[in-house]
Structure 1
Amino acid sequence: MPYALAIFDLDGTLVDSFPWFLRTINDVADRFGFRRVADEDVEGLRHASTREILSGLEVPLWKLPAIARHARRLKGEAAAEISLFAGVETMLRTLAENDVQLALVTSDSEANARAKLGATAALFSHFDCAASLFGKPAKFRRVIARANVAPARAIAIGDEVRDIEAARAVGIACGAVCWGYAAPAALRAHAPDIVFERMDDIARTLCRAEIVGRMSEA
């Protein structure tokens, strides 16, 4: 069955914010009292789940809302430093032209997301932003309802294990990208429905599904 809705994550999926994260994380750690990240810690964190990262860095869970608000403010100030990955605009435009609705679900604010996406923001039909760290399932459900599509025709595409978990929680397909925050091996260990190794794999795979679906209906 072809996909009618693609729900995208933002950071690490559409925009290359990992370098900004590495420059910023220790300032945030000092401000909120959790463990700093050493250079030698980075690769291990890329292989860990979100819960494992929070535990390893000794992040007080009760501080997560304040940390998220602070991070959104910092991202807004650094918007000019955070760019789209190469090929994002072409990929999104191709999906939209093939009748795939586009949605964005992110922990960042909608204002920050639109600033990072630039002109490509106009390609999105649905935004549900400022998600809590584990709040994506509820936002996925809202987006699916607004798009008026069956869960079987929706796919969530992200770069972290929690994106896979959120998609499974609401019964939709999950696609994992290999160029974001989590290491590809960590994502593959959770058996996502599709692994995208290159940006142009997304449009090629989803649009092929759309074409096959149309042929079967003819």
Structure 2
Amino acid sequence: MLRAPGVYRPRADTRLLVEAIREAALPRGAHVLDVGTGTGVLAVAAARSGAAEVTAVDVSRRAVLTAYLNTRMRRLPVRVERGDVQDPSETRQFDVILSNPPYVPSEQPRPPERGGARSWDAGSDGRAVLDPLCVRSARLLAPRGTLLIVHSALCGVERTLTRLRRSGLKASVVARRAERFGPVLRARAGLLEARGIIEPGQRHEQLVVIRGDRPEPLEGPEACGDGT
């Protein structure tokens, strides 16, 4: 696939989520939202799995252009938009939501506003994007809709499961895979050790795909509009 400079290169986390998409057997004719699309690889996988329409969003202009070109070259039913899923004006609902969000803990308390690092930097605990995404996804899912999200266990699997359940979704881990650190985590190993996130000398992480299913009617705080 084409990839503009500064756009996240699909890696092991992306591949694990693509496998989960195929195994999930998405409903034919589903309307899918791909959050943080990057090159558009997840949008392509969803369209090829039978989705009627895929909306792919990203805050990066380069990513939007890259995903647009990659999906148009394949003549797939994908609409690419620049934006943030946390926009409160977004009222559409989707049968499936997919995301490989930024989740790497960093020295800074907030994610960067520009540059390639915003594809992976997610604040001091790696949750700056994940936490609001869990809450917002519950509101954007149609009844009986499904969320599939991938991230590293370094930023807390149980925290994601708890967030989703508090938002009214039924949540579970559906895939796991151990991977050696990539260049970003290798460079931050000292920081992660100092914070107690990894053991001394640890140079591997576990990637997880977490699935959230919205029941009908929606359960939990989201049923009352309270996603905190």
Q: TM-score, normalised by structure 1?
A: 0.38
Judging by fraction of residues, say which structure has more helix. Answer: 1
Judging by fraction of residues, say which structure has more strand. Answer: 2
Q: TM-score, normalised by structure 2?
A: 0.37
Larger RCO (CA under 8 A, 6+ residues apart):
1
